[in-house]
Amino acid sequence: MASSELRIANDGFYYDKDSLVGKQVDSLFREHGYYFKNVEGLRFCKARAFNDERVRNVIEVLLGDCSLGLYKSYGASDYNYSILNRTTESRTVLLVQLWSSGSRVKFYSGSHLHVLNGEAALTGLLTTPSRELSRTEITEVTVGMQEGGYSIVDGRTRFRIMQGRAVMLAFVAPNELVHWAKMELPKLPELQREVQDIHMDSSKIGVNFEFVEREPAT
């Protein structure tokens, strides 16, 4: 395993500070707000996850066959978030976080190895009380992304966005994906072409979109 893959296996997360990622995230928010279900949003997703070998290789090695199941943005809050609780020893979700400049995030290293009481939140994520994370085997690691960057996180790892915001993409193994709703996109030719282009980038990573006639929910 590469160092990034070992970090995810042992600590539950890996990160790298990258000013180019930060600039692109800043530009996406500035020009399109929180709505990414457009050509520019799909191209950003493709460039930063499917075309970036630093990210794609980790996903392919640690998950194998999988699909993009979540594509949303989240800002600072007082909640400790995760995608999943630990219900199995198998890794089924990797969360790619693309950070704006001026971001700061707290990761709970080792939390992916523990059964924790995460509950569903209105954000679509799980929240875990801080008292659940006060264990000697779980360590708080705070990372400043002054110029932006990215992180790849086990879906069971807890984290808190302290400053800034992140675009998040969840890649999901087939046995977990059956429990996820498809992401909706407007049925427009230009979006269908972009999704087809994404499909061609990896033989192992797909996308869980469906095209609808009505305007999809954000």
**Is residue 37 predicted with pLDDT exceeding 90?**
no
How far from the centroid of its chain's Cα atoms is residue 60's Cα? 15
Q: Is the pLDDT of residue 199 over 90?
A: no
Q: pTM for this one?
A: 0.94
Q: pLDDT by residue (tens digit) across 138-168?
A: 999 999 999 999 999 999 999 999 999 999 9
**Residue 49 confidence (pLDDT):** 92
Average pLDDT (70-77) is 96
**CATH numbers and ranges of domains, the chain:** 3-211 (2.60.120.620)
Per-residue pLDDT band at 76 (split at 50, 70, 90):
very high
Q: Which conformational region is residue 157 in: left (phi greater than 0), alpha (psi within -120 to 50 degrees), or beta?
A: beta
Write out the DSSP string of 110-141: TGGGS----EE-TTSSEE--GGGG--TT-EEE
